[in-house]
Amino acid sequence: MLTKKELIEYCRNARENYLPHFSIDCVVFGFHEGIMKVLLLQVKNEGEWYLPGGFMLKKEPIEKAANRILKERTGLDKIFLQQFHVFGDPERSKAHFEMYKDMLPASQNWFTNRFLTIGYYALVDFIYANPTRDVLSVSCTWRDLHDLPELKLDHALILKTALDTLRLQLNYQPIGYNLMPKEFTMPELQKLYETILDKKLDRRNFQRRMLGFGILNRSEQPRKGGAHKAPYLYSFNQENYQAALKEGFKGGW
Amino acid sequence: MLTKKELIEYCRNARENYLPHFSIDCVVFGFHEGIMKVLLLQVKNEGEWYLPGGFMLKKEPIEKAANRILKERTGLDKIFLQQFHVFGDPERSKAHFEMYKDMLPASQNWFTNRFLTIGYYALVDFIYANPTRDVLSVSCTWRDLHDLPELKLDHALILKTALDTLRLQLNYQPIGYNLMPKEFTMPELQKLYETILDKKLDRRNFQRRMLGFGILNRSEQPRKGGAHKAPYLYSFNQENYQAALKEGFKGGW
Which fold, B4-169?
Answer: Nucleoside Triphosphate Pyrophosphohydrolase (3.90.79)
Residues of B in contact with A89 (CB under 8 A): 61
Q: Under a CB-based contact definition with an 8 Å cutoff, are residues A117 and A53 in contact?
A: yes
Q: Under a CB-based contact definition with an 8 Å cutoff, are residues A131 and A140 in contact?
A: yes
Q: What pLDDT digit, counting tens, does each position of B118-166 carry?
A: 999 999 999 999 999 999 899 999 999 999 999 999 999 999 999 999 9
Q: What pLDDT digit, counting tens, does each position of B29-39 carry?
A: 999 989 999 99
- The separation between CA A48 and the C-alpha centre of its own chain, rounded to angstroms, equals 19
ipTM score assigned to the predicted complex? 0.89
Task: Over range B185-198, report the average pLDDT.
Answer: 95
Q: Under a CB-based contact definition with an 8 Å cutoff, are residues B29 and B35 in contact?
A: no
Handedness of CA A241, A243, A246, A249 (dihedral sign): negative
Residues linked to residue B216 through DSSP beta bridges, in sequence order: B236
Q: Say what the pLDDT of residue A246 is.
A: 83
* Cα separation, B103 vs B109, whole angstroms: 8
Q: Which of B114, B116, B172 is closest, CB to CB, to A171?
A: B172
Q: Which of B62, B167, B249 is closest, CB to CB, to A88?
A: B62
For B89, B180, B198, the CA distances from A156, given in Å and listed in that order, are 28, 37, 39
Q: How many CA atoms lie within 13 A of B146 on its CB side?
A: 7
Interface test with B, best of A117, A171, A191 (most B CBs within 10 A): A171
Q: What pLDDT digit, counting tens, does each position of B77-129 carry?
A: 999 999 999 999 999 988 888 888 888 898 889 988 999 999 999 999 999 99
Return the SS3 of A240: helix
pTM, full prediction = 0.92
* Cα separation, A55 vs B235, whole angstroms: 48
Interface test with A, best of B17, B69, B171 (most A CBs within 10 A): B171
Which fold, A186-247?
Answer: Arc Repressor Mutant, subunit A (1.10.10)
Q: What share of chain A is helix, strand, coil (3-state, %, to 5)?
A: 35, 25, 40
Return the SS3 of B88: coil
Q: Say what the pLDDT of residue A252 is.
A: 67
Specify the length of chain A in residues: 253
Q: Say what the pLDDT of residue A220 is.
A: 81
Nearest-CA distance from A247 to chain B in Å?
7
Which is higher by pLDDT, B95 or B202?
B202
Give the dihedral of Cα atoms A132, A135, A138, A140; nearest 10 deg. -30
Nearest-CA distance from B226 to chain A in Å?
30
Q: Per the CB < 8 Å rule, is B168 touching A171?
A: no
All structural domains of chain A with their residue ranges: 4-169, 186-247
Specify the length of chain B in residues: 253
Mean pLDDT estimate for chain B: 92
Name the percent of chain B lying above pLDDT 90: 75
* Cα separation, B217 vs B228, whole angstroms: 23
Q: Per the CB < 8 Å rule, is B168 touching A248?
A: yes
Q: Which of B63, B88, B171 is closest, CB to CB, to A171?
A: B171
* Cα separation, A49 vs A126, whole angstroms: 19
* Nearest C-alpha in B relative to A202: B253
Q: Which of A21, A62, A85 is closest, CB to CB, to B19?
A: A21
- The separation between CA B59 and the C-alpha centre of its own chain, rounded to angstroms, equals 24
DSSP state of B114: -
Q: Say what the pLDDT of residue B227 is.
A: 61
- The separation between CA A7 and the C-alpha centre of its own chain, rounded to angstroms, equals 28
Q: Per the CB < 8 Å rule, is B171 touching A167?
A: no
Residues of A in contact with B172 (CB under 8 A): 168, 171-172
Residues of A in contact with B116 (CB under 8 A): 19, 22, 62
pLDDT < 70 positions in chain A: 225-228, 250-253
Nearest to B76 by CA among B41, B46, B112, B111: B41
| H helix intervals, A88-217 | 94-100, 155-169, 186-197, 203-212
Q: Per the CB < 8 Å rule, is B114 touching A249?
A: no
Q: What pLDDT digit, counting tens, does each position of B217-230 carry?
A: 999 877 776 666 77
Q: Per the CB < 8 Å rule, is A253 touching B21?
A: no
Residues of B in contact with A248 (CB under 8 A): 167-168, 171
* Cα separation, B38 vs B76, whole angstroms: 13
* Nearest C-alpha in A relative to B202: A253
Which runs of E-coded beta strand occur in A33-154? 35-43, 49-50, 53-54, 82-87, 116-125, 137-144
Nearest to B79 by CA among B91, B95, B94, B68: B68
Confidence label for B4 from pLDDT (cuts 50, 70 and 90): confident
Q: Say what the pLDDT of residue B49 is.
A: 97
Q: How many CA atoms lie within 13 A of A160 on its CB side?
A: 7
